[in-house]
Structure 1
Amino acid sequence: MNAPRYDVVAIGNAIVDILAPADDGFIAANGMTKGQMALVFSPEEADALYAKMGPGQTVSGGSAANTVAGMAMLGSDCAFIGQVADDDLGATFASDIRTGGIRFDVEARAGQPTTGRCMIFVTPDGQRTMNTFLGASHYLPAAALDRALIADAAYLYIEGYLWDPEEPRAAMRAAIAVAKEAGRKVAFTTSAEFVIDRHRADFLQLIADGQIDLLFANESELMALTETADVEAAVAAVADQVETLVVTLAERGAMALRGGERVTVAAEPVDQVVDTTGAGDLFAAGFLHGQTHGHDLAASLKLGAICAAEVIGHVGARPMADLKLLTGG
């Protein structure tokens, strides 16, 4: 098998984040669940909520896109597959990801719907409440896959968020088949409890069939996936079915399990938690960078913790500091 050209090729939602401050009263008054992500299904609903936002910040986002953005900053070679529309937000997303040194070749989609956007309300305690209109990202076809590109990456990285719509779900299944045929590894992040609730059977089947080599989940997601009451029971239910299991534990750090090895790392200290948007995405960035550059589990977890700590110290899901400098890379 040839050495891969890319460290990671990621498939995920191509969306633009719009972040604005809000208080708990605003969250409650608009029927949101604080700290959770909800889907906005109609353009009209998305426009109405956007009109209520105060002054904020606009930056390209999307879970898997955030991960490869962090990896690229660390020095990894990455590519991204996702669908944008032929509009201003789509052009912003494409420009941002390419400026970060990430290969992005998917042709913009003409017509409606618009490029996806995530309206994020950040409360004073740093919690983010997300309302996502997925727009064009729901229309990623299997025909958009560059199979040679997927086969030329050490890891295919997939976000659970994109599993919901039928068209990109079929594309991701096809991508997994390409990666497996090429002898590459597949990493998967469960993304959110509501995603797991909708697709638990699919995710468990992927795991049981050996289609996932590296599984990322936070402790709540893993318990939801396994329908268990505590994280140790959840770990026991999954750890033997994947090559590597990574579980983030918020302020308690994270753990990784592989074979008979179990490693834990403490969370990195943070002066102030400003915005938790992207914490899991950047943890995955650090860990995947470590794994694709010959680091062991402990060192990879440490990289993930450093990257997550950086992103929660400011508004936005993309790093602002030099990750190479922070990690000693």
Structure 2
Amino acid sequence: MRIAVTGSIATDHLMTFPGCFTDHLVPGELSNVSLSFLADALEVRRGGAAANIAYGLGQLGLSPVLVGAVGPDFADYQVHLKEHGVDTDSVHVSHTAQTARFVCTTDRAQNQIATFYAGAMAEARTLSLAPVAERFGGLDLVLISPNDPEAMVRHTEESRRLGIPFAADPSQQLARLEPDAVRGLVDGAGRLFTNAYEAALVRERTGWTSGQNLDRVGSWVTTLGADGVRIERAGEPAVTVPAAPVREITDPTGVGDAFRAGFLAATARGLTRTASIRLGCSVAAEVIRTVGSQSYDAAADRLLANLTAAYGTDAAEEIAPHLVAVTREGGDSS
């Protein structure tokens, strides 16, 4: 299955604050917030939603096509992605802007405050999917992940025109997208990905109820943090799968992207929706143990251990035959 992943490609600057942000928010003064948090550590890592998802798909034995825009500082990052099974030949390199930057501080309660600088990502609006599809003789799925808003709209409309199935993952860009654009992203999507808060934003932006949104998508996948993942289809009962327990939480950055990679890899191999969620949660459990969103290793032995611990031997055995392409064993892949 050939999946094109469109969206952001960025460099992450990740800092940690030893306290809790909420301890420094004064009731009655939130309209005049001026705060600075002294961070204990700084990690500079590779990131961006599309690159994170593509990295995960590559780790899981697929050969995803990454579609996005970067700056001339992308060379080392490109080598890293290619080494992990990602096709980067459809990535546009800007001559004037640097690769996007994600600057994020995480407190001890795993709350995050972040700023995203688009940089070269703005040029993604000029990219067409037609040459990508032509290069491979067609695409089986286009994932529309957070990106330049105009690019997200263009890729969705082009997927419809080319007859390519697409999945919508508007995520952080819901705050920037106009209602008409959100309705366009949702309507006709084979899958809609959100977290619980974003699900409420989708209802608010589209003006449609949950049922009306479900009538327009194949399925709606909502991550619920420690409470697991819910998947819904019109006319069917919702299915909720518990999250895979994590003994050590190091950095939550990229957890949702890792889940999407695991889920899409499983569905690409014909697994049930419950099994697909379980694999997604297992991959997410790996990334949360590491600093950065592309520092984990999705080796089969690690994933099967997670699956067995979280869901039992039968669940692991159901998925095991579909992990034969994941041959690397253990170790940090950063």
What one-letter code is carried by the residue in structure 2 that aligns with 1:276? Answer: P
State the alpha-carbon separation in 2 of the partners of residues 179 and 227 from structure 1.
Answer: 25
- Aligned residues, how many? 289
Instruction: Indicate if the aligned counterparts of 2:262 and 2:279 stay in contact, CA closer than 8 A.
Output: yes
1:264 is matched with which residue?
Answer: 240
The match for 1:189 among 159, 169, 191 is 169
Give, in angstroms, the shift of residue 317 of structure 1: 1.3
Give the 3 Å change call, closer, same or farther, for CA 314–79 of structure 1 in structure 2. same
The match for 2:200 among 208, 223, 227 is 223
Matched, 1:297 2:297: no
State the alpha-carbon separation in 1 of the partners of residues 158 and 198 from structure 2.
Answer: 27
Q: Which runs of 5+ in 1 are unaligned?
A: 31-48
Give, in angstroms, the shift of residue 278 of structure 1: 0.9
The match for 2:116 among 108, 124, 132 is 132
Partner SS for 1:67:
helix
Instruction: Indicate if the aligned counterparts of 1:12 and 1:63 stay in contact, CA closer than 8 A.
Output: yes
Matched, 1:281 2:257: yes
Give, in angstroms, the shift of residue 195 of structure 1: 2.6
State the alpha-carbon separation in 1 of the partners of residues 137 and 220 from structure 2.
Answer: 23
Partner SS for 2:12:
strand
Give, in angstroms, the shift of residue 104 of structure 1: 0.7
Matched, 1:153 2:132: no
Matched, 1:61 2:30: no
Partner SS for 2:252:
coil
Deviations along 1:239-272, one digit per CA (max 9) or x if unpaired, are 1210111111111111112344432210110113
Partner SS for 1:137:
helix
Give, in angstroms, the shift of residue 23 of structure 1: 3.4
Larger Rg belongs to:
2
Give the 3 Å change call, closer, same or farther, for CA 115–254 of structure 1 in structure 2. same
Give, in angstroms, the shift of residue 63 of structure 1: 0.8
Partner SS for 1:76:
coil
Partner SS for 1:264:
strand
TM-score using structure 2 length: 0.77
Give, in angstroms, the shift of residue 237 of structure 1: 3.7
1:35 is matched with which residue?
Answer: none
1:12 is matched with which residue?
Answer: 7
More deviation, 92-101/286-295: 92-101
What one-letter code is carried by the residue in structure 2 that aligns with 1:271? Answer: R
Partner SS for 1:57:
strand
1:109 is matched with which residue?
Answer: 94
Give the 3 Å change call, closer, same or farther, for CA 181–274 of structure 1 in structure 2. same
Give, in angstroms, the shift of residue 277 of structure 1: 0.9
Partner SS for 1:227:
helix
2:186 is matched with which residue?
Answer: 207
State the alpha-carbon separation in 2 of the partners of residues 150 and 9 from structure 1.
Answer: 10
What one-letter code is carried by the residue in structure 1 that aligns with 2:4? Answer: V
Instruction: Indicate if the aligned counterparts of 1:190 and 1:196 stay in contact, CA closer than 8 A.
Output: no
More deviation, 283-292/306-315: 306-315
Give the 3 Å change call, closer, same or farther, for CA 141–149 of structure 1 in structure 2. farther
Partner SS for 2:78:
helix
Instruction: Indicate if the aligned counterparts of 1:151 and 1:182 stay in contact, CA closer than 8 A.
Output: no
What one-letter code is carried by the residue in structure 1 that aligns with 2:179? Answer: R
What one-letter code is carried by the residue in structure 2 that aligns with 1:218? Answer: N
Give the 3 Å change call, closer, same or farther, for CA 195–181 of structure 1 in structure 2. closer
State the alpha-carbon separation in 2 of the partners of residues 138 and 224 from structure 1.
Answer: 23
Matched, 1:308 2:293: no
1:176 is matched with which residue?
Answer: 156
Partner SS for 2:300:
helix
Give the 3 Å change call, closer, same or farther, for CA 286–322 of structure 1 in structure 2. closer
Deviations along 1:112-155, one digit per CA (max 9) or x if unpaired, are x2221111222223333322111111122434643425862211
Q: Which runs of 5+ in 2 are unaligned?
A: 26-35, 305-319, 324-334
Partner SS for 1:162:
coil
Give the 3 Å change call, closer, same or farther, for CA 143–218 of structure 1 in structure 2. closer
Deviations along 1:211-248, one digit per CA (max 9) or x if unpaired, are x22100111111122139xxxx9633421210111111
State the alpha-carbon separation in 2 of the partners of residues 239 and 299 from structure 1.
Answer: 21
Instruction: Indicate if the aligned counterparts of 2:193 and 2:221 stay in contact, CA closer than 8 A.
Output: yes
Matches within 5 A, 1:22-61: 22-24=17-19, 55-61=41-47
Matches within 5 A, 1:71-110: 71-87=57-73, 90-105=74-89, 106-110=91-95
Give the 3 Å change call, closer, same or farther, for CA 64–151 of structure 1 in structure 2. farther
Q: Identity over aligned residues, as a percent? A: 26
